[in-house]
Amino acid sequence: MYQETVLENGLTVVTHRMPSASSSSVGLWIRAGGRFETKDNNGVSHFLEHLLFKGTKKRSYRQIKESIEGIGGSLNGFTAEELTCYLAKVIGKHLPLALDVLSDMVLNPLLKEEDVEKERMVIVEEIKMYEDLPASYVHALFGELLWPDQPLGFMIAGRQEVIATMGRDEILNYKNRLYNPSNLVVAVAGKLEHQKVVEEVKKAFGALPRRQRNRFSKVQEKQSKPRIKLKSKDTEQTHLCLGGKALPRDHPDKYALGILNVILGGNMSSRLFNEVREKRGLAYEIRSSIARFQDTGALVISAGVDNRKVAETIKIILRELKKFKEREVSKKEFQQGKEFVIGQLLLSLEDTTNYMHWLGENKLCLGRVPSVEEVLDGIKKVTARDLHRIANGLFTNENLNLALIGPVTVNSTAYSCKKEEEIEKILQF
């Protein structure tokens, strides 16, 4: 079980003691991310995350890194759609130091003008790198398809033209507005004592005043037919994402969707891996994955395939989706999928960092941390009929989207179907 304490200013501390662990993992989870941005400041959350590693009033950027890495630990941060996280993993006895370093970064960053200018160039190069990796960039195109002209469909790193003009004051104002106790969860797992963690957190953040928790606008979803987004690029493979909107983070059918995803393309025993790679050799990698947000979600199938086999691959994927609609999965397949979900959960929670993620993300995004027993009970209650029902609700022409990067028409390496109209003909159930 985990322990929880809410400070007077609204900051939440959640911990899970793992007596046999040597390490402690700590994360500062902040309700600030891509969904809190606009077109005019797209990328500010990620820009700010970079800058917080550049130095504080008492530590240089080298001292920040060496404080953790110099004791054998690791330090990192990441920005997502609904949150930003700063995290460290250290030997248990160094937990107070890790908390001090992370809180110092969040509370006392210098945000020097010269650092803003340097990091601006770094982020622009990061965006270019991302755009040069079609296996990654196709996911950004897919997001734009699902949620056009909405923050949820923006790239987390931002757009080059926005990053190029974003100023220090804009970044600082964003931080001052969102980085407050009501938007902050401190999550720790591993070798620890809850009350000592609370005291350390109180020492760092206790003086901050209570502020209002920030909100983002609910997503708008309107689609009446299949949608396609093509980007022409001279690549050796065509990279695609095919799928649609799925279930919100805390939907009653979330466990059933997880099992469906495993059977569809979640591991090497999955239907898509077997049909597309093993039987036909059309792709080195093909998989399905789920994205979960507060008010929506997505199920996406991604693959890199032979430029001449795109139409064939799409047809096979759609055929496999159709099978879920037509009949229930077999008893053996269903049981294996369920056991995989359970096994992966239990194995992941043996690691202090994974458990810290479990605590922080659930508390920040759901407002509660479900017990492992609650989750296992929910998984065990899922039936094959549930998967059949969900498939019929999600796998429809009105929820079909295809993002694709490759040589749309390049002589001998052209697609089997050379025009978007021809792809549209096969993109339907």
DSSP string covering 217-265, please? PPP----SS-EEEEEE---SEEEEEEEEE---TT-TTHHHHHHHHIIII
Query: What's the number of CA atoms in the CB half-sphere (13 Å) around residue 113?
Result: 1
Determine the Cα–Cα distance for residues 86 and 75; give it in Å rounded to an integer: 8
Count other C-beta atoms under 10 Å from residue 70's C-beta: 9
**Do 227-426 and 3-205 fall under one CATH topology?**
yes
Q: What type of residue is 202?
A: K
**Backbone φ and ψ of 288, nearest 5°:** -120, 150
Q: pLDDT at residue 415 above 90?
A: no
pLDDT digits (tens, 9 = 90+) for 365-411: 999 999 999 999 999 999 999 999 999 999 999 999 999 999 875 34
Predicted local confidence at residue 424, as pLDDT: 78
186 with 13: CB under 8 angstroms?
Answer: yes
Q: Do strands 237-245 and 401-406 pair parallel, antiparallel, or not at all (unpaired)?
A: antiparallel
pLDDT tens column, 130-187? 999 999 999 999 999 999 999 999 999 999 999 999 999 999 999 999 999 999 999 9
Topology, domain 227-426: Cytochrome Bc1 Complex; Chain A, domain 1 (3.30.830)
| 207/418: higher pLDDT | 207
Sequence letter at residue 417: C
CA angle 214, 111, 66 (to 5 degrees): 105
List alpha helices for 266-417, DSSP H: 271-272, 310-326, 331-348, 352-366, 372-380, 384-394
CATH topology of domain 3-205: Cytochrome Bc1 Complex; Chain A, domain 1 (3.30.830)
Q: CB 402: neighbour CB atoms within 10 A? A: 27
Spell out the domain ranges in the chain: 3-205, 227-426
* Residue 181: strand, helix, or coil: helix
> Catalytic residues, which ones?
49
Helices (H), 26-133: 44-51, 61-69, 95-107, 113-131
> Mean pLDDT over residues 19-48, rounded?
98
Structure confidence by residue, pLDDT tens digits, 223-234 = 999 999 999 999
Distance CA 371, CA 359 (A): 10
Average pLDDT over residues 24-40: 98
Give the alpha-carbon dihedral of 366, 367, 372, 373, to 10 degrees.
-100
Task: Output the pLDDT for position 258.
Answer: 98
Q: Which two tokens stand for residue 370?
A: 């479900």
